[in-house]
Amino acid sequence: MGRVVITGAGTVNALAQDVAGTWAAMHQGQCGIGPLDFRDVERLAVQIGAQVRDWNPETHFNRQQLSLYDRFTQFALVAARQAVAQSGLNFDGRMGLTAGVVLGTAGGGVNTWDDSYRTVYEEAKNRVHPLVVPRLMNNAAPAHISMEFNLRGPSFSVSTACASSNHAMGLAYQMVKRGQAKAMLAGGAEAMLCFGGVKAWEGLRVMSRDACRPFSLTRNGMVMGEGAAVYVFEDLKHARARGAEILCEISGFSMNSDASDIVMPSRAGAARAIAGALADAKMKPDEVGYINAHGTGTAANDKTECAAIADVFGPHADHLLVSSTKAMHGHLIGATGAVELLAVILALRDGVIAPTIGYQEPDPECALDVVPNTARQAPIKAALSNAFAFGGMNAVLALRKHEENAANP
């Protein structure tokens, strides 16, 4: 079994349209949540979200490409371009024969669905655009990324609600670890911020109308976001041989199912996923310094996750830094774990712990150090990234600072 490192990262999200800008915003505790701006927003009960502002697709794609690309595919392609450029990899020849891309998305081309429904039902037209199906399908983004970068290995999408991108990254990690490919692109993309997308989520009554406040006693729900993050996962020996910059090492991954309820999270299931990631990474609980929590800002999720962390880490839970960055970039549903991984890399690389902004009042059922409102500096050698989804689908990644292992074979 090989070891797997990240050698490239890219993102488009409500905080910034690149990694450097996102890291700066996380460090400063900026909030990307604001009033939504799209057709019929006034008909929604929830009118806030973490929208990608000033997005100009014409600067990235030509007219022919845009006829094929839903908004979520646009985000994914730009993030992938950034990641590949940073990695310095070229996928021509043998490299491209095994390399592939695995992306998470819960909704795929939701904007295309929304536009097409309007065309048929509201405008009473009998025809839709001939490329509707290629635009809306969940595998559109990985398909277009594979074509752009000549990735001829495994390329597919994963859809497990809010755990989609953690599942996608975990699967890509396993492929590189097992030697199926020297490198894989992995991450997630989502663009549900349109009338139909938000209206569907309103029905669940889990949305806040004013702000996302994870772990705070005053929390009243999640806030949706949009965007993408894509990474280059690479075999460590291959990365070292070509002198690549290594952002961090992926050391372990665990996934399981609660098999209990379609929407309510399970403390036991979350704890098993966390413990499984530690075991896969051969990581002791007291090695972990930071957890990027799923932390949606809903009453049920936050207290269940805190309880699961306490179950796994015992007394060490009091020494953990645990934050949710969703209060900054929103809940990107299938892409959320991918964007949140940027906060984990920031903690491992620079020792900067992104804060849980919007925090107002302690909750006795969330009695962890949630890094309230202001970023903190702390040396971190190992970290976890949690994702717990509707359907009881859990996926946890374990990561290490790469310098500590540089001397190991």
Residues labelled as active-site residues: 162, 294, 331
Question: What are 398's two structure tokens?
Answer: 């374990």
Question: What are 354's two structure tokens?
Answer: 């992104």
CA distance 343 to 290: 10
35: Cβ contacts below 8 Å, ≥ 6 apart: 47, 48
- Residue 14 β-bridge partners: none
Are 8 and 18 in contact, with CB atoms under 8 Å apart? no
